[in-house]
Amino acid sequence: MTNKIKGPSSIKTYREAINDALRQEMRRDPRVIILGEEVSGGAGCEGQDDAYGGVFGVTKGLMPEFGRERVIDTPISESAIIGAAAGAANNGLRPVAELMFFDFIGVCFDQIFNQAAKFRYMFGGKSRTPMVIRGTVGAGWRAGAQHSSMLHPVVTHIPGLKVVMPSNAYDAKGLLIQAIRDDDPVLFLEHKIMYDLKCEVPDEAYAIPFGEAAFPREGTDVTIVAISNMVHRAIQAADELAKEGISCDVIDPRTVSPLDEESILESVEITGRLVIVDEAHERCSLAADISSIVAEKGFSSLRAPIRKVTAPHAPVPFSPVLEDAYVPSVERIIRAVKDVLGA
């Protein structure tokens, strides 16, 4: 990565970086609370408190430090969780709500898109809804159709929501701090396959502004835009292609709403070729969205048709062999890059 880190830092996992951001913001601002299912775990049980710290262990250790008043284990009631977060945000708190699996927005979508997203506009700019919804996305855990979706296109579609999809620990910390400090509802989507990925992360708190892409690889032949876990596959593809003398410019938008259109258009101006990699289905996806932006605003730069590498138009299958075929692979990215180069 190209992050220039000054000051003390340490190697942290994606999971630890998110935990770090939550802890530092909770220390800084007493209005920040966490609520969700098993964000601590063990409520009303005879055994240990903080037994889970979230089902993936992301919020571990926060309840012992901040108490159950600020790290709230809820019943399994997603509508109530998100509604309470939105109402609390309107009334002086800065809640971070957790949807254990982002697929569960199906249960509470009204509170997200009809309520939280619309308050600011519908009430003539009078309200603020400074809430964050953290949720795990993505395939790879063999978790089946109802625990593996990539639903970011669904929420990216909605005005009033911001959508953040960090691909590494450094970005996760900086973007989550920004999300907590942001006055709008932010969906912070963590790809569950990345929790153990490590990189260097500053110890101090820092915020990464929304709408600013990162550039993990710079190149001149083909632009590859990839998000979330796909960034790593795009980097792998770019490194493979570099051995064959093909130079790829890999862009990680980091936030998909707002989206750093400018960086994408500037890159395509140089390369003239665009491959977009997105783990969501292709129809009405982020890949389709970026493709349309470039076709509309960067048409004169294009020297080849845009190629999208996405999941197929099917739910996520359970069987490992099918799931592996479902998620865009490094090979498919390489093939798409060669296609747009006519190679």
Partner 1 sequence: MPYDSAFLLRAYRTMKTIRIFEERCIKEFEAGNVPGFVHASNGQESIAVASCIDLSDTDIIGSTHRGHGHSIAKGCDVIGMMKEIMGKATGLCKGKGGSMHIADFDKGMIGANAIVGGGQPLCNGAALASKTLGTKDIAMSFGGDGSANQGTVLESLNFAVVLKLPHVFMFENNGYGEGTGANYALGCDSLADRNRAFGMPSEYVDGTDFFATYEVCKRAIAHARDGKGPFAIEAETVRFDGHFIGDPQLYRGKDEIKLAKKNRDCIKIFRDRVIKEGWLKAEEMDAIDTEVIALIETAVKEGLAAPNPDPETDLMADVYCSY
Nearer of residues 38 and 252 to partner 1, judged by Cβ: 38
List the beta bridge partners of residue 32.
Answer: 94
Min CB(100)–partner 1 separation in Å: 8
Select from 112-120, 122-130, 151-159, 318-326 the region that touches partner 1 (CB under 8 A).
318-326
Q: What share of the chain is helix, strand, coil (3-state, %, to 5)?
A: 40, 20, 40
Asked if residue 37 binds partner 1 (CB under 8 A), the reply is yes
Asked if residue 318 binds partner 1 (CB under 8 A), the reply is yes
Asked if residue 325 binds partner 1 (CB under 8 A), the reply is yes
**From the list 38, 249, 260, 279, which residue makes contact with partner 1 (rule: CB under 8 A)?**
38
Residues 6+ apart with CB under 8 A from 331: none
The residue assigned the tokens 């699996």 is 101
As a whole number of angstroms, the distance between CA 331 and CA 107 comes to 36
Min CB(237)–partner 1 separation in Å: 20
Asked if residue 113 binds partner 1 (CB under 8 A), the reply is no
**From the list 4, 6, 243, 313, which residue makes contact with partner 1 (rule: CB under 8 A)?**
313
**From the list 62, 317, 332, 337, which residue makes contact with partner 1 (rule: CB under 8 A)?**
317
**From the list 30, 106, 209, 305, which residue makes contact with partner 1 (rule: CB under 8 A)?**
106
Asked if residue 55 binds partner 1 (CB under 8 A), the reply is yes
Q: Letter for the amino acid at 147? A: H
Which ranges constitute the DSSP H helices of the chain? 14-28, 62-66, 78-90, 105-109, 119-122, 152-156, 169-181, 230-243, 261-271, 286-297, 320-326, 330-341
Q: Looking at residues 220 to 239 of the shown chain, list those that interact with partner 1 (rule: CB under 8 A).
A: none
Is 147 tagged catalytic? yes
Q: Beta 214-217 vs 248-252: how paired, if at all?
A: antiparallel
Nearer of residues 49 and 262 to partner 1, judged by Cβ: 49
**From the list 52, 66, 109, 188, which residue makes contact with partner 1 (rule: CB under 8 A)?**
52
Min CB(191)–partner 1 separation in Å: 17
Q: 3-state secondary structure string, 158-170? A: CCCCEEECCCCHH
| b/e sequence 206-225, b meaning 16+ C-beta within 10 Å | bbbebbebbebbebebbbbb
Instruction: List the x/- string, 135-154, binding to partner 1 by CB under 8 A.
Output: ------xxxxxxx-------
Q: Look up residue 180 and give its two tokens.
A: 């907590």
The number of CA neighbours under 13 Å toward the Cβ of 278 is 27
Distances (CA, A) of 15 to 57, 58, 333: 8, 5, 27
Asked if residue 73 binds partner 1 (CB under 8 A), the reply is yes
Catalytic residues: 147
Question: Interface with partner 1 by CB under 8 A: which residues?
Answer: 37-38, 41-49, 51-52, 55, 73-80, 103-104, 106-107, 141-147, 312-315, 317-322, 324-326
